[in-house]
Structure 1
Amino acid sequence: MALLIDGYNLLHQAGIFGPGRGGASLQRSREALLRFLAASIAPPELPRTTIVFDAAEAPPGLPRTITHTGMTVHYASEYEDADAMIEELIAADHSPRKLLVVSSDHRLQRAARKRRAPFIDSDVWYAQLIRDRERRGKSAEKPSPSKPSGQLSSKEVEYWLEEFQVEEGEKPHKSPDRPAKPPAELPLDNPFPPGYAEDLFDDENGSG
C-alpha cells in the first residue's frame, strides 16, 4: 500500500526535533525524521512513500521535490500549506483505496474519506511503525537452524541394529534389499545330486 505522510504532523507526534532554534533546527528535525522513516519502513515500500512538508523555513534553494532513500519528499512551496498539497495528491491518486494517508489532521482525513482512501492518526501509525521495526529486528537476530550433525541417537541405533539383525558392535555386510556376494575364496556347494554326470568324467578320463 502506498503511503502519503503529513510530514510536520508526524514530526510533532513523534517528538523528533533537532537541537537549536529556527530554520537550521527544523531542517535537522526533518532530516532526522527522514532517516528514521528510511530505516523503519520496509524496503519494498520506500519507493511508494511520499512525505509532504510545509515550505515555511525550508532550506534556501532546496528543490520543491527531492528523493531520499527511494522516498519522494515534497516541499509545498507553491501551496498555501502542506495540507493543500496533500489534498491535491489525494484527489489526483488513481488508486485511492490503496493509499494510506498518515495524518491526525481532520481536514486531511475528510479528504481521504471522500476518496475512500484509508487514513490513520500520525501517533497511532508511528507507534505501529516502532513495533514493526522491533519485530523485524528480533526476527533478524534469530539464529539460523543448525545443520544436522549426522549422529544417530541410541534409540535410532538400536532400531536399525534390530532391523538389519546385526549384533551390537558388528558392522552390517549387506544392504537389506540386495543379497550378499559370497567371498571368492570360499568353495561353492555342488548343486547336483551325488553321482550325477560322473560317467561323463569317467569317459573323459578313459579317452585321455
Structure 2
Amino acid sequence: MLNTEIIIDGYNLLHKLYPAGGGSSLEQCRKKTEALLERYRKKAKCSVTIVYDGGGIRDTAAGAAVLIVYTASSKSADRWIIDYVKSLNTSRKMVTIVSSDREVCLYGKAYGAECLTSEEFITLLDPENIKGSPGCSASGRKYSDRILDDREVEQWKLLFERGKR
C-alpha cells in the first residue's frame, strides 16, 4: 500500500484555525497547529508537511514527525507547494494539498493532487473524523482523469491571460 502525503499551506490553515490570533502570538499559534497536525498524522498514518512563507527559522520539536518547511524569503509557500507537486513523477504517491488559495488548488489538481480547503481540513482534525478521511486515501497516480468543471476552466483562462501580459 502506498503512503499518502499531505502538504499544508501553513499560514492559510493557521489563520483559519485562529482568526485574529485568538489572543496568542504567531509562534504559539504555529505550535498549537503543529501539535494538532502531529495528532492527526499519528491517527491517520499519513505523511504531513506544513509549509510556511520564508523568513523564519525554527527547529522541529524532538520526536515530531510533521515536517516543517520555511521557504526561502524569495519564495512563497504557495509557490513551494506548486513546484513540489509539479516535481513529483508519475510513480510517486498521491498528494493532498490543504489550502484555500484557488491558484494553488488549480495547479495542484492539474498535477493530480487532491485539494481540500483549510476549512474542510479543520473538520478532519477532530479525532472522530480522521478514519477514512479524503486526505488519506492511497493512489499511485499523479495526473487526474477528472474533467474540469466550467468554473475551473474559467479560472485557468484567467491565469493564462494574466501570464500573457
Normalising by the smaller structure, the TM-score range is 0.5 to 0.7
Do the aligned partners of 2:94 and 2:112 also contact (CA within 8 Å) in 1?
Answer: no
TM-score (norm 2): 0.64
User: Which string of whole-angstrom CA distances, capped at 9 and with x for unpartnered residues, describes residues 75-104 of structure 1?
Assistant: 012443111111111111235661111111
Are 2:115 and 1:119 equivalent residues in the alignment? yes
RMSD between aligned alpha carbons?
A: 2.5
CA distance in 2, matches of 1:82, 1:106: 14
Aligned twin of 1:33: 33
- Name which structure has the greater RCO, CA cutoff 8 Å, separation 6+: 2
Determine what percentage of the aligned residue pairs are the same residue: 23
Q: 1:41 aligns to what SS in structure 2?
A: helix
Structure 1 segment 1-208 matched on structure 2, within 5 A: 1-15=4-18, 17=21, 19=23, 25-43=25-43, 45-46=45-46, 48-56=47-55, 58-59=56-57, 62=58, 66=60, 69-94=64-89, 98-130=94-126, 133-134=127-128
Q: 1:79 to 1:91 in 2, by over 3 A?
A: farther
Aligned partner letter, 2:11: Y
CA distance in 1, matches of 2:112, 2:82: 13
CA distance in 2, matches of 1:113, 1:135: 24
TM-score (norm 1): 0.52
The structure that has the greater radius of gyration is 1
Q: Which runs of 5+ in 2 are unaligned?
A: 131-165
CA distance in 1, matches of 2:22, 2:72: 22
Do the aligned partners of 1:18 and 1:32 also contact (CA within 8 Å) in 2?
Answer: no
Q: 1:78 to 1:4 in 2, by over 3 A?
A: same
CA distance in 1, matches of 2:129, 2:75: 39
**CA drift at 1:43:** 4.4
Aligned partner letter, 1:55: G
Aligned partner letter, 1:93: L
Q: 1:109 to 1:38 in 2, by over 3 A?
A: same
**CA drift at 1:19:** 3.8
Q: 1:69 to 1:44 in 2, by over 3 A?
A: farther
Aligned partner letter, 1:39: R
CA distance in 1, matches of 2:118, 2:89: 23
